[in-house]
Amino acid sequence: MSLAPLRPLPASEPSAGSSFYAAAEKIYPREISGRFTRLRQVAVVALLGLFYGVAWLDWGGHQAVLFDLPARKFHLFGLTLWPQDFLYLALLLIIAALSLFFFTALAGRLWCGYACPQTVWTELFVWIEQWTEGTRSRRMKLDRGPWTAEKLLRKALKQTLWVALALWTGFTFVGYFTPIRALGAGVASLSLGPWSTFWIALYGLATYGNAGFLREQVCKYMCPYARFQSAMFDKDTLIISYDEARGEPRGPRRRGTAARALGLGDCIDCTLCVQVCPTGIDIRKGLQYECIACGACIDACDGVMDKMGDPRGLIRYTTEHALHGRATHLLRPRMVVYAALLLLAGGALAYSLVTRTPLILDVIRDRNALYREVSGDQIENAYALKVINLDDRPHTYRLVVSGMQGLELTAPSEPITVPPGSVSNIPARLDAPAARAGGVHRIALTLAAVDAPGISVRENTRFIGPSP
Amino acid sequence: MTPSASPEQKRRARALDVALVLWPSFLAACAASLLFFAVVDPALLRDAGPRLFAGLEREAGYALGFIFFWGVGALASALSVYLIRTERSAAGRTGPGAP
């Protein structure tokens, strides 16, 4: 990083009324290196690696993570979830929301700075931009300059890479919802169905538009979280802040000169913190909702302070309490409440997953007749059974009836075998002696796997005989 | 927007209106599709729905459902934006509740 060509930026602070309609100035984030930038690079590589990689993982004969919408079942490694398991999805979403609240209250906008897809893909698109069009100053010069062959070439290369990456992202995304290898074969042979093509195109377009074109405008104008995250903040939340007491009055000075002797603060007004900001704000004006807490300004300022021979941390992660010389409390009522709710939801999810029975029995009474008299003074009721095996392997089940004396199962007489992840419709008949069958009886059908202990479900239904 | 707004500002305002219509409805459509299709199998529309849906594939059902929710959401957003923009006191307003 060189300090030479820096000029203070012209103050661009549109009045509150017109700022909403003011043309968004294109932001050219300056390349930067430092602790938080490295942390984000690690997060980008890890998260995108997971996204692009996990789609290709196999697990026990099927894609490891597949939200198989055409077949209406979700594979999550060893676990197969069905629409009936919607509870888990709901719990998972609640846990995700609570985690967001918890970490926001604890350390501010960690999500925005390191994990949000908008940040992660924008970072990737910016890397491509820097690789094809060069550093910040070269990009600005290139955009101002005439359309030379070099400009055309660089822009074309950037757009080609962007479009290819966007399409690959769309393809991978759709690959989480329909088996990705079949999808790949469909793309390779140009025989993709219209809806898969539609979703790939839509998601590719969204990636290109959000990460290549809109970028920080998504955070500033489109993101609901950016607007309400401050509700989770308090004076003990970690924020990125400029130490005004130490920095002001700002002003340029030579390296090695003592700021105080010149009547100045430590800020040399190099505006590097503004130039590296992906949302184009000046952190020295205080905390703003546009700040995505990426830490780029900290890295920039630390570098400058190192060069000036001053201690780091003029811009740093801190809390409002710490800035005002008070103690920061980690354990606050809001943290305890968020943590307790998080534990509760996590516990509920874990408990329901552990105690989940991979078997569903639906019992529907025959709609045509309440009962039938059969030979030997017997009363018969007919039922339609729907047996759903939610497990990953086939199971054989035996049906047992209870709740009424003399009640016997006449069909099915054989154990029921259901393939993995399948539904079997089984007709069932129950007989009881006419002498005992009068009226309505509450009975229970119990279906238990004979080849696995613990898989058993009990369904209540009615047995109806002639009115006594 | 004040009457003296430049063409560039008008263009920006229109773009913003389009975004305000399409974006929240997109988010709402995502949530609605998730909840709706968790409970309802699109194959039901083909098997038990009106003849319009005969021969509908599941994938097509999901996509049409999503587009439908998006459309309904966009209609609601568009009405909201229209009502806000055509309010008499909206001229030159700077924020919610501004005179």
| Each residue's pLDDT tens digit, B9-60 | 888 788 888 888 998 999 999 999 988 888 888 888 777 767 777 777 888 8
Chain A residue numbers with beta carbons less than 8 Å from the beta carbon of B16 are: 20-21, 221
| A22/B59 touch (CB, cutoff 8 Å), yes or no | no
Establish if B38 touches chain A: CB-CB under 8 angstroms.
yes
Q: Contact, A12 vs A275, CB < 8 A?
A: no
Structure tokens of A162? Answer: 């962007």
The predicted pLDDT at position A19 comes to 43
Q: Distance between terminal CA atoms of chain B?
A: 13
Confidence grade of residue A65 (pLDDT, cut at 50, 70, 90): very high
- Best mutation target among A21, A85, A221 (most B Cβ atoms within 10 Å) is A21
Residue B89 has pLDDT above 70, yes or no: no
The predicted pLDDT at position B68 comes to 94
Whole-angstrom distance, CA of residue A291 vs CA of residue A281: 7
Number of structural domains in chain B: 1
Q: Contact, A339 vs A375, CB < 8 A?
A: no
Whole-angstrom distance, CA of residue A173 vs CA of residue B40: 23
The pLDDT tens digits for A187-244 are: 999 888 888 898 899 999 999 999 988 888 888 888 888 888 888 888 888 889 999 8
Dihedral of the alpha carbons of A265, A271, A274, A275, in degrees to the nearest 10? -150
| A83/B39 touch (CB, cutoff 8 Å), yes or no | yes
Residue with more model confidence, A42 or A228: A42
- Percent of all residues in chain A with a pLDDT value above 90, rounded to a whole number: 35
Structure tokens of A169? Answer: 């992202």
Domain boundaries in chain A? Answer: 35-81+116-232, 359-464
Q: Is residue B60 part of a domain?
A: yes
Rounded to a whole number of angstroms, the distance from the CA of A327 to the nearest CA of chain B is 37
Residue with more model confidence, A288 or B90: A288
| B41/A83 touch (CB, cutoff 8 Å), yes or no | yes
The predicted pLDDT at position A7 comes to 40
Q: Is residue B84 part of a domain?
A: yes
Mean local confidence (pLDDT), A371-388 = 87
Q: Which of A23, A196, A224 minimises the CB distance to B8?
A: A23
**What CATH number is given for A359-464 in this structure?**
2.60.40.10
Whole-angstrom distance, CA of residue A72 vs CA of residue A177: 10
Whole-angstrom distance, CA of residue A417 vs CA of residue A437: 31
The predicted pLDDT at position A14 comes to 41
Strands A65-68 and A73-76, by their bridges, are antiparallel
Establish if B47 touches chain A: CB-CB under 8 angstroms.
no
Residue A45 has pLDDT above 60, yes or no: yes
Establish if B91 touches chain A: CB-CB under 8 angstroms.
no
Residue with more model confidence, A123 or A70: A123
Q: Which of A17, A23, A224 minimises the CB distance to B94?
A: A17
CA B17 to chain centre: 11
The predicted pLDDT at position A207 comes to 94
Chain A residue numbers with beta carbons less than 8 Å from the beta carbon of B41 are: 72, 83
Q: Is residue B99 part of a domain?
A: no
| B19/A222 touch (CB, cutoff 8 Å), yes or no | yes
Residue A15 has pLDDT above 60, yes or no: no
| A69/B94 touch (CB, cutoff 8 Å), yes or no | no
Whole-angstrom distance, CA of residue A165 vs CA of residue A173: 12
Structure tokens of A332? Answer: 């606050």
Confidence grade of residue B93 (pLDDT, cut at 50, 70, 90): low
The pLDDT tens digits for A143-166 are: 898 999 999 999 999 999 999 999
Residue A446 has pLDDT above 60, yes or no: yes
Q: Is residue B95 part of a domain?
A: no
The pLDDT tens digits for A272-328 are: 999 998 888 999 998 888 898 989 999 999 999 998 888 999 999 988 888 888 888
Q: Contact, B30 vs B22, CB < 8 A?
A: no
The predicted pLDDT at position A8 comes to 41
Structure tokens of A55? Answer: 């789609």
Q: What is the mean pLDDT of chain A?
A: 86
The predicted pLDDT at position B92 comes to 53
Q: Which residue of A has its CA nearest to B9?
A: A21
Q: Which of A23, A193, A221 minimises the CB distance to B59?
A: A193
Whole-angstrom distance, CA of residue A235 vs CA of residue A168: 43
Q: Is residue B18 part of a domain?
A: no
Angle between helices B7-39 and A86-107 (to 10 degrees): 140
Chain A residue numbers with beta carbons less than 8 Å from the beta carbon of B1 are: 21
- What is the residue range of B52's domain? 24-88
**What residues contact residue B42 under an 8 Å CB cut-off, 6+ apart?**
B56, B58, B60, B61, B62, B65
Residue A2 has pLDDT above 80, yes or no: no
Mean local confidence (pLDDT), B67-93 = 85
